[in-house]
Structure 1
Amino acid sequence: MLDAQQSLRDRWKTLSQCVCDGARLMVGQGNYAAYAAHVRKTHPDREPMTETEFFRNRENARFGVGNTSGFRCC
């Protein structure tokens, strides 16, 4: 019975993480841990952005900051 409860907890944790990641992506915020792991694996010569820099980068991309196409949210 204990293994079944642990398995259910693990599946619930995985599902809730997927829902949270999906919600973040819907509003333009990616998963920082996934980003940092990707940079470390595929670009070992580069230092990943800090979590604050990553958040600002995603916010700027979402709202077109620095974009020359003229898009602006507000």
Structure 2
Amino acid sequence: MSEQKPKDPLHGVTLEQIVSSLVEYYGWPVLGSRIDIRCFNLDPSVKSSLKFLRKTPWARKKVEKLYLVMKKEEGR
């Protein structure tokens, strides 16, 4: 039997991994300008961002979307 890859590109990736990767790739200032939310612009930290994103589905979707864009850029 052959194993199929999951269709969800975020499968197995934690929110903490996503935020940490985005910060490493873009840095807080660029991340805050791309997604204008306070936890990225005002005294940013991974911990405060995770707390906010876990409670705020619309913001989490934006972060996940930017993560997928970043992964595409890295693949070029």
TM-score, L = length of structure 2: 0.28
TM-score of the superposed pair, with normalisation by structure 1: 0.29
